[in-house]
Amino acid sequence: MATDRFDMGDIDIAWCPGCGNFPILKTLKEALTDLEIDPTQLVMVSGIGQAAKIPQYLKSHFFNGLHGRALPSATAIKAANPTLTVIAESGDGDMYGEGGNHFIHCIRRNPNITNIVHDNMVYGLTKGQASPTSQLGFKTPVQVAGVVLEPFNPLAVAIALNASFVARANAGDREQTREILKRAIAHQGYALVDILQPCVTFNKLNTYQWFKENVYYLDDAHDPADRGAAFARATEEDRLPLGVFYVNPKKSFEENVGVYEEDSRPLYEREVDQAKLASLIDSFKMAI
């Protein structure tokens, strides 16, 4: 599919050959093209890491902020101008480790943004340490005896927090991933898409082949409105389910904050209401 409007042309990309980030980038551009999103209305927000470089390689506005802090910034960007499409995208270490607290509270806050997480179960940019989603026993130069911390389960956490939209995809399957991304971006409210992705350099365990053999797609029998079923599927470990686990339509953060109730203009178009300010100051005179 032609994705010209998002293509950067001939640029130097800092990812390893064969990296799972390449198909995610390609798939995302296709999803955005399918949804007819205008690059001048799209803000990509990311943190730090190899996955977090994705905004550099996709033509749009972008805010490449601090490690772990993409979600608060993305929330504020969307809240300051709800007409923008906002995607917060980074890796598992960034979103679930450094930014774990923001991940939890962003789900509670429910801004109308899409949260794409490249989940390769390892730290790439810092060269091969365990990530929050690394499997038990995974050996690294730091976790020399193997990982002993329980792997973080982002889907189960998100469903426990009654997230608005929770999905998992596989970077190796572009067709299905594109459809999941399209549903997530079109969803009104916070949408999590955890994308399983191999790290060809530092994760010799969870390879393209491993993912192929250890995943399966949720079928029509799964009801995304059923929170209990979604949670049960999210905690399956033998083979990892893919697809849309949970959809819970509810009012977004921007709809709840009040400043757009009577005035739909983004904040940058507004002026100080001098008369209202004067009246507020006068109230401190306390005269009847």
Partner 1 sequence: MGSLQRAKQGQDVSIVLCGQAGQGVQTVEFLLTRILKLAGYHVFATKEYMSRVRGGLNSTTIRVSNKRVSALINRMDILVALNQGAVAHVAERLSPETVILAEQAVLGDDDGLEPGLFLDLPFTQIASDIGNKIYSNIVAVGAIAGLLGIGLTDVTDYVERFFAKKSREVVEHNVQAARAGYEAAGLLELPEGWKWDIKTDARVKDEVLVNGAEAVGLGALAGGCDFVSSYPMSPSTGVLVFLAQQGKDLGVLAEQAEDEIAAINMAVGAWYAGARAMATTSGGGFALMTEGVSLAGMLETPVVVHIAQRPGPATGLPTRTEQGDLELVLYGGHGDFPRIILAPGTLEQAYAVTQKAFDLADKYQSPVFVLTDEYFVDSYYNLPAFDVSQATVEKHVVKTSRDYRRYEITEDGLSPRGIPGYGDGLVAVDSDEHDEEGHITEDLDVRVTMVDKRLAKGEAIKKEIVPPELVGPEDYRNLVICWGSTYHVVLEGLAELGRDDTAMLHYQQVYPLHVKTADYVRQAGKTVVVESNATGQFRKLIRLHAGVDVDEGLIKYDGLSFAVEDIVEGLGQILS
Least distance from partner 1 to the Cβ atom of residue 124, Å:
16
Find, among 45, 123, 86, 66, the residue nearest to 252 by Cα: 86
Find, among 18, 22, 26, the residue nearest to 2 by Cα: 26
Least distance from partner 1 to the Cβ atom of residue 264, Å:
12
CB 240 within 8 A of CB 234: no
The residue (of 223 and 263) whose beta carbon lies closer to partner 1 is 263
CB 197 within 8 A of CB 210: no
Least distance from partner 1 to the Cβ atom of residue 283, Å:
8
The residue (of 125 and 232) whose beta carbon lies closer to partner 1 is 125
The residue (of 8 and 136) whose beta carbon lies closer to partner 1 is 8
The residue (of 68 and 172) whose beta carbon lies closer to partner 1 is 68
Least distance from partner 1 to the Cβ atom of residue 127, Å:
17
Least distance from partner 1 to the Cβ atom of residue 90, Å:
12
What one-character DSSP code corresponds to residue 98?
A: I
Q: Which residues bind partner 1 (CB under 8 A)?
A: 39-41, 43, 45, 48, 53, 55-56, 59-66, 69, 71-81, 83-84, 101-102, 104-105, 257-259, 263, 266-268, 270-274, 276-278, 280-282, 284-288
Residues present in the chain in total: 288
The single residue listed with the structure tokens 């955890």 is: 194
The residue (of 225 and 278) whose beta carbon lies closer to partner 1 is 278
Least distance from partner 1 to the Cβ atom of residue 110, Å:
13
Name residue 193's beta-bridge partners: 116, 167
Q: What is the distance, to the nearest Å, from the Cα of residue 287 to the centroid of all Cα atoms in its chain?
A: 52
Residue 127 has which token pair? 């060269």
The residue (of 212 and 270) whose beta carbon lies closer to partner 1 is 270
- Extended strands (E) in 120-232: 165-170, 191-196, 215-217
| Spatial separation of the C-alpha atoms in residues 113 and 74, rounded to whole Å | 7
